[in-house]
């Protein structure tokens, strides 16, 4: 489903941007009302900026909360008992739920059971780091969550710790796109099609991958890569240069009036925050 797809992307993104394992996210849980999910996408469709904006409101946020395993399971299961409701919890692909063969949770039949979190058997006593919309924890749609977090408001993060969903995902896409641009302008890749040998590439690859970094004097030729992106040869890679590279280097379909992705890629490449992409970055 679109909800599971977005939750999985968010988990990958939040774990890629939180390099220390203790700051990682074990699961992303979003109530169904936060994902519109009204569109059927044909096989082979690309997830575009327009699709992201259509599925998630631009002001939607989430934050990481501590959640005991038993509470995670009970909270999800409570929203899956019976007919679908706005609070129906959707989750990333590391969460597994078992539906009994003789029931779907409704009509008094057996309830579904959450069996795995982060692709491992759920531990009822473990405290999981769960990314979710904070307001959903006390909105009454999941009675176990509402009861627990109403009684323990100190466990809810401050608003300054909230993450904008669209911005988080765009930053994640930008990291992956910049990696592809960097690879496609390397000495060994120049002149080849960007898709020639990347069939097995893992786009959730950790940001610590040394292949995307090199020093000024390294054989990976950072000066040559910069020149191949710098269209006016002024030593600075601009948003316009990135936008051009999306089409000319990666052969992506781009809209000449839309620079959102290029701005996010440029911001990621600009490691010093100077507003300019230079050899120093």
User: Are 271 and 178 part of one and the same domain?
Assistant: yes
In Å, what is the CA distance from 38 to each residue of 57, 76, 85, 132, 134? 14, 22, 15, 21, 24
In Å, what is the CA distance from 218 to each residue of 43, 73, 229? 42, 50, 18
Q: What is the CATH number of the domain that holds 37?
A: 3.90.780.10
- Per the model's pLDDT, the better-predicted residue between 172 and 18 turns out to be 172
- The pLDDT of residue 35 is 59
User: Are 136 and 226 part of one and the same domain?
Assistant: no
**Percentage of the chain surpassing pLDDT 70?**
72
Asked whether residue 207 is assigned to any structural domain, the reply reads no
User: Are 142 and 26 part of one and the same domain?
Assistant: yes
Q: How far apart are CA 238 and CA 259, in angstroms?
A: 11
User: Are 176 and 146 part of one and the same domain?
Assistant: no
Q: How far apart are CA 26 and CA 95, in angstroms?
A: 9
Query: For the chain, what is the radius of gyration of the CA atoms?
Result: 22
107 pLDDT more than 70: no
Total domains, the chain: 2
pLDDT tens per residue across span 132-169: 999 999 999 999 999 999 999 999 999 888 989 888 88
279 pLDDT more than 50: yes
Q: Do the Cβ atoms of 248 and 229 come closer than 8 Å?
A: no
Residue 50's SS3 state is helix
Q: Do the Cβ atoms of 72 and 96 come closer than 8 Å?
A: no
Which residues form the domain of 139? Answer: 2-161
| C-alpha torsion 252→256→259→261, nearest 10 | -10
> Tokens representing 152?
């323990």
- pTM for the complete prediction? 0.71
Please provide the DSSP assignment of 83-148 as one string. Answer: S--TT-EEE-TT-EEE--TT--S-TT-PPPEEEEETTEE--TTSEEEEEE-GGGGGSSSSHHHHHH
Work out the average pLDDT over 45-70.
81
Q: What is the CATH number of the domain that holds 240?
A: 1.10.238
Asked whether residue 56 is assigned to any structural domain, the reply reads yes
User: Are 109 and 186 part of one and the same domain?
Assistant: no
Q: How far apart are CA 203 and CA 36, in angstroms?
A: 25
At 65, give phi and psi (nearest 5°).
-125, 150
């Amino acid at each position: 489903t679109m909800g599971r797809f977005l939750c999985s992307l968010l988990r990958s993104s939040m774990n890629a941007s939180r390099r220390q394992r203790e700051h990682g996210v074990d699961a992303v849980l979003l109530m169904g009302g936060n994902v519109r999910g009204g569109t059927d996408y044909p096989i082979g469709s690309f997830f575009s900026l327009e699709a992201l904006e259509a599925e998630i409101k631009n002001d939607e946020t989430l934050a990481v909360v501590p959640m005991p395993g038993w509470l995670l399971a009970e909270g999800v299961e409570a929203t899956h008992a019976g007919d679908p409701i706005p609070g129906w919890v959707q989750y990333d692909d590391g969460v597994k739920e078992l539906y009994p063969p003789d029931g779907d949770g409704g009509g008094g039949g057996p309830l579904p059971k959450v069996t795995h979190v982060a692709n491992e058997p759920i531990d009822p006593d473990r405290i999981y780091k769960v990314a979710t919309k904070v307001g959903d924890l006390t909105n009454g749609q999941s009675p176990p969550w509402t009861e627990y977090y109403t009684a323990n408001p100190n466990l809810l993060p401050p608003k300054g710790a909230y993450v904008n969903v669209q911005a988080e995902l765009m930053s994640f896409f930008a990291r992956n796109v910049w990696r592809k641009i960097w690879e496609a302008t390397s000495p060994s890749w120049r002149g080849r099609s960007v898709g020639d040998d990347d069939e097995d590439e893992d786009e959730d690859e950790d940001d610590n991958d040394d292949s995307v970094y090199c020093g000024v004097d390294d054989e990976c030729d950072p000066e040559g890569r910069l020149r191949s992106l710098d269209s006016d040869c002024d030593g600075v890679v601009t948003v316009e240069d990135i936008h051009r590279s999306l089409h000319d280097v990666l052969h992506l379909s781009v809209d000449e009036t839309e620079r959102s992705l290029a701005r996010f890629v440029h911001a990621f490449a600009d490691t010093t925050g100077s507003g300019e992409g230079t050899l120093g970055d």
